[in-house]
Amino acid sequence: MLILLASLFLLLFIGVPIAYALGLSALAYFMVEQPMLIGVLPQRFFAGINSYALISLPLFILMGFVMNSGGITGRLLDISNFFVGRLKGGLGLVNVVASMVFGGISGSAASDTASIGSVLIPEMKKRGYPVQFAAGITVASSTMGMIIPPSVAMVIYAIAAQESVGQLFLGGVIPGIMVGVFQLGIVWYLSKKNDYPTEAVPFTLAEAWRQIRRSAVVAIMPLLIVGSVVFGIATPTETAGMAVAYGILIGFLIVGLASVKQLPDAMRAAILTSAKIMMIIAFSQLYIWVLALERVPDTLAAYVISLDLGPVALMLVITAVILVAGTFIDVSPAILLLTPVLLPAAQSVGISGVHFGVVMVSGLAVGACTPPVGNCLNVCAAIARLGIGEIFLGAAPFLMANVLVLILMCIFPQLVLWIPGLFY
């Protein structure tokens, strides 16, 4: 284990990408400890990605890119601005509401940051909002893209933990909405305190109906995706394929031929993103296999049982580990590395795999907004032209909402398990 861990940290420290660092550290272990098993490594590598369920991953990623290039963002911002723009700090509230809805479409926090931020950050700067505030709320609210279903991170966890995708999607509904509501409260409080502007948006029933009608085909997409999985209409893979087709259709209806012309670029971006994740998954399987050979999960579970911690205390400890790990490791490799180690320990005290998964994804969503790795921070830095440290300071007040929801999930598991329990 010393060889395995030391080689991994050394490779990461010198800048080797996480996928190759995992593979090389596993190779170093076998060369020293199990040279006779080196011939099995290619088989384990292939087995790591030889899964029908993994087909849904690139399709969900493509769905996010298709929806993003299909003129969806503009409609979401319009309806959000109509309903909350007239309140104090209107554009800040619009930012959160749009992220809540877009999170149910893209399934990715980074995609949410790029789409919402590229429109709202320049607009908020023009209206007199501090750029640090605009960038901070954009980054913090994008975390809902990983929690509110559908979620690419939850699909990865479902594959790693052999859990139900439908139950995980439903488990993220209440925590995702709670994060959004708490962030709305923080935005409104800071806006009142600092006298941020409101938007002059007159309210009429006719205009309200027009905005709802314009955005209905977009807003119902998360319901169609989650509903088809939960009610057994289609598998997650089939649902992801249908979602791509639906996104292309409504993009064509909203934008016209221009959205179809953008499809090759969306497919290219989805292929590159999917390839990176697939490489991480394949190499992580080698690393996880070594952990299993060394009986690390079993040893850790036995140690946890000996501590005699209750489920709540253990979940709080695990949440702290996840938050720390998320600051140094990106979301996908963190899920693949931490799940086989921490999940058996959690299950040893009766914690549900669905509860654990939603807490893990929610915790890693915070990590995506914290330095030094912070994928969302890097995306936002390119848009706002600020350093990631400044953006993080702007996001910190809003990320407290995420941390509060994490603590509540640990104390009250039914926040996660209630809705899945209604359907399963």
pLDDT tens-digit readout, 261-282: 778 888 888 888 888 888 888 8
Q: Is 52 exposed, middle or buried (0-12, 13-18, 19+ CB in 10 A)?
A: exposed
Residues in the chain with pLDDT values less than 70: 68-71, 104, 106-107, 254-259
What pLDDT, on a 0 to 100 scale, did the predictor assign at position 296?
Answer: 75
Give the pLDDT of residue 381: 87
Q: What's residue 106's pLDDT?
A: 67
What CA–CA distances, in Å, run from 114 to 73, 135, 138, 270, 273? 11, 11, 9, 15, 15
User: Quick one: pLDDT at residue 421?
Assistant: 93
Run of H or E including 274 = helix 263-293
CA dist 124 and 379 (Å) reads 17
pLDDT of residue 330: 81
Q: Which residues of 181-214 are buried (b: 16+ CB within 10 A; e: fewer)?
A: ebbbebbbebbeeeebebbeeeeeeeeeeebeee
